Amino acid sequence: MTHGGDLFAIARQRGWDWREVLDLSASINPLGPAPGVRPAIEAALERIAHYPGQATGELEEALAAEWRISPAQVMAGGGATELLHFVARAGWNGPAALVTPVWSEFYRAFPHALRAPLNDPERWPQRGLLVLSQPVNPTGEAVAVEILRRAIAGREGPVLIDESFIEFTRLESAVGWTEHHPNLLVLRSLSKFHGLPGLRVGALAGSREWMDRLARRREPWQVGTLAEAAALAALSDREHAERTREVVETERNWLLEALSGLDGLRFSEGVANFLFAGTDRPAREICDWFLERKIILRNCSGLPGVEGEAIRFAVRTREENERFVAAAKEYFCGG
């Protein structure tokens, strides 16, 4: 199981200037961080010679206000990955099942978990921890709300929903359900939508019972001073957030139209800031060909729940999308 976003290692290995590489393997906000993020980081620099708060109360209050839940239901951390492994290490040691496909890091966090098919909810185990994503990673498809609610209400064990990409969509978040479902945990990332992957900020929302349980085993100082300052600035900019959704929707539709005539690509009905496509050609061959042109794609072949050869690539700005489309037409029409 591999991640996308290995831009710097690839550029270093090949002796490239990373600024010349179009990284479509990591699906980050194409507009970048909100304008206020850089000034917020600069203003916080004078505080880095001091310890941050052991708990990130201000950030958790801001997230709670954004999600309209109690601050006691929010736990901030050093990215969604850190929080996921914390839950696996300190919050749950019983049986688990992953509704596939799902984010690759879940296979590392729960290596012995059962795998349940997304398209057959009747086969999802009723006991133990159930993990799934909304929208689905890596296909970008939306899971029907009634399926999610039924899974939560009918279970004897907890449910963990990964919503790392949900802000790019118009989907209803499960965060608001945590007040009435003590078995529900929701994982959120500030890397993707808010464009802060290099600072590592994420959050977990859940019932008060779950948060109390996890807080007793939580190590201090999980979010650094600069990361918290950046996250607070990002959350406060609603105009940038709405502009991001508009750009992603426009560019996703443009990409689908521009690529519609190419043979050998079958796109899923995604709603996130990336496109997932099954292909008739070997995904490794495709990714290698694009890499030689300094374009990084995501090879999704072999992931549990993914049938056949498949690739994924991010929705970016028009200029970046045009660069990708030109290369795609050369490959799929000329190769």
Structural domain contains residue 298: yes
Tell me the torsion sign for CA atoms 262, 165, 84, 186: negative
Model confidence, pTM: 0.94
Give dist(CA 311, CA 5) in Å, integer: 14
Residue 210, C-beta contacts closer than 8 angstroms, at least 6 positions apart: 91, 158, 182, 184, 185
Determine the pLDDT at residue 333: 87
Structural domain contains residue 153: yes
Whether residues 16 and 43 share a domain: the answer is no
pLDDT digits (tens, 9 = 90+) for 8-30: 999 999 999 999 999 999 999 99
Residue with tokens 């890397």: 191
Check whether 151 has a pLDDT greater than 60. yes
Q: What is the dihedral of CA 211, 160, 129, 60, to 10 degrees?
A: -10
Structural domain contains residue 2: no
Structural domain contains residue 270: yes
Q: What are phi and psi of 74, to 5 degrees?
A: -125, 140
Whether residues 82 and 111 share a domain: the answer is yes
Structural domain contains residue 140: yes
The Cα-based distances of 67 to 35, 172, 176, 212 in angstroms read 22, 11, 7, 19
The Cα-based distances of 129 to 99, 166, 283, 304 in angstroms read 11, 21, 32, 18
Determine the pLDDT at residue 93: 86
Whether residues 137 and 120 share a domain: the answer is yes
Domain C-terminal end among 213, 236, 259 = 236
Give dist(CA 19, CA 195) in Å, integer: 16
Whether residues 147 and 296 share a domain: the answer is no
Give the total number of structural domains in the chain: 2
Whether residues 14 and 61 share a domain: the answer is no
**Domain harbouring 132, CATH code:** 3.40.640.10
Phi-psi region of 219 (alpha: psi -120 to 50; beta: other; left: phi over 0): beta
Structural domain contains residue 112: yes
Extract the tokens encoding 312: 């994924």
Determine the pLDDT at residue 263: 86
CA atoms within 13 A on the CB side of 30: 26
Give dist(CA 99, CA 124) in Å, integer: 8
CA atoms within 13 A on the CB side of 158: 23
Whether residues 183 and 223 share a domain: the answer is yes
Whether residues 24 and 147 share a domain: the answer is no
Check whether 291 has a pLDDT greater than 70. yes
Determine the pLDDT at residue 4: 67
Whether residues 161 and 45 share a domain: the answer is yes
Structural domain contains residue 1: no
Whether residues 116 and 142 share a domain: the answer is yes
Extract the tokens encoding 44: 């916080």
Domain limits for position 268? 7-33+239-334
Extract the tokens encoding 50: 């001091």
**Domain harbouring 21, CATH code:** 3.90.1150.10
Check whether 53 has a pLDDT greater than 90. no
pLDDT digits (tens, 9 = 90+) for 166-215: 999 999 999 999 999 999 999 999 999 999 999 999 999 999 999 999 99
